[in-house]
């Protein structure tokens, strides 16, 4: 059987609960069948099925049919909400009073620890906060990985510098364009 072909009785899925403590493999041909099997195997009723990665709700058969085999799905009960993976935040305001940015810095580091790609999307203020941080002041509180914090600080400084250079280049181009338009207007 070709890797892309699926057995006639459905596709395999990786199922987890909201706390990501229970993991099961289920094969289902439809959303209704998946929900039925979840009720049977995980003893859960009245559930919502979402993509584990981003919390996108799967609420119709058409969308369900587009899912790849081995997609990671999360099952939520009525009172549960999807949460991203990542280390729990174990911080209090008193612990970070001396650190520049306090809770904002800790939250930013936590978000980037989960997905480092977001560092390239940060604004100047956030990059400045990260590039000015003291890794020693938050290493014990947030994450024991001091090397990660040092590298994050260095990368943030680089991105901040590049953003400032790009903004300076854009400002220079804008001045050049204004000067060229003024010169053209006086020549007419």
| DSSP letters for 110-174 | HHHHH-GGGGGG--HHHHHHHHH--HHHHHTTT-S-HHHHHHHHHHHHHHHHHHHHHHHHHHHHH
Q: What domain range is 104 assigned to? A: 93-187
Please report whether residue 86 resides in a domain: no
pLDDT at 32: 92
Residues 97 and 183 occupy one common structural domain: yes
Query: Is the residue at 133 inside a domain?
Result: yes
Is residue 81 domain-resident?
Answer: no
pLDDT confidence of residue 129? 82
Name every residue whose Cβ is closer than 8 Å to that of residue 33 and which is 6 or more positions away in sequence: 10
Q: Flag whether 87 is in a domain.
A: no
Domain end, chosen from 51, 76, 101, is at 76
Q: In what order do the strands lie in the sheet with 71-76?
A: 23-28, 11-17, 71-76, 48-51, 57-58
| pLDDT computed for residue 103 by the predictor | 65
Shared-domain flag, residues 100 and 160? yes
Report CA 100 to chain centroid distance, whole Å. Answer: 24
Total tally of structural domains belonging to the chain: 2
Residue 5 lies in a domain: no
72 and 97 housed in the same domain: no
- 103 and 151 fall within a common domain: yes
Between strands 48-51 and 71-76, the pairing is antiparallel
Same domain (yes/no): 135, 168 = yes
Tens-level pLDDT at each residue, the chain (188 residues)? 444 444 468 899 999 988 888 888 999 999 999 999 988 888 888 888 998 888 888 888 998 999 999 999 999 988 888 887 755 444 333 444 444 456 677 777 777 776 777 776 777 788 888 888 877 766 655 555 677 778 888 888 888 888 888 888 888 999 999 999 989 888 87
Predicted pLDDT of residue 31:
93
């Amino acid at each position: 059987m070709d890797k892309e072909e699926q057995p006639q009785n459905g596709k395999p899925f990786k199922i987890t609960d909201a706390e990501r403590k229970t993991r099961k493999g289920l094969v289902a041909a439809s959303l209704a069948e998946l929900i039925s099997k979840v009720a049977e195997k995980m003893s859960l009723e009245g559930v919502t099925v979402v993509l584990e990665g981003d919390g996108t709700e799967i609420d119709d058969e058409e969308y369900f049919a587009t899912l790849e085999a081995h997609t990671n799905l999360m099952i939520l009960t009525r009172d549960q909400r999807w949460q991203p993976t990542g280390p729990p935040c174990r911080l209090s305001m008193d612990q970070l009073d001396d650190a520049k940015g306090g809770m904002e810095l800790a939250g930013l580091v936590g978000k980037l620890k989960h997905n480092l790609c977001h560092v390239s999307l940060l604004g100047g203020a956030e990059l400045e906060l990260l590039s000015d941080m003291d890794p020693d002041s938050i290493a014990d509180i947030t994450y024991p990985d001091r090397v990660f914090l040092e590298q994050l600080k260095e990368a943030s400084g680089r991105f901040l510098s590049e953003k400032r250079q790009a903004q300076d280049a854009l400002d220079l181009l804008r001045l050049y364009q204004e000067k060229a338009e003024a010169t053209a207007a006086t020549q007419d």
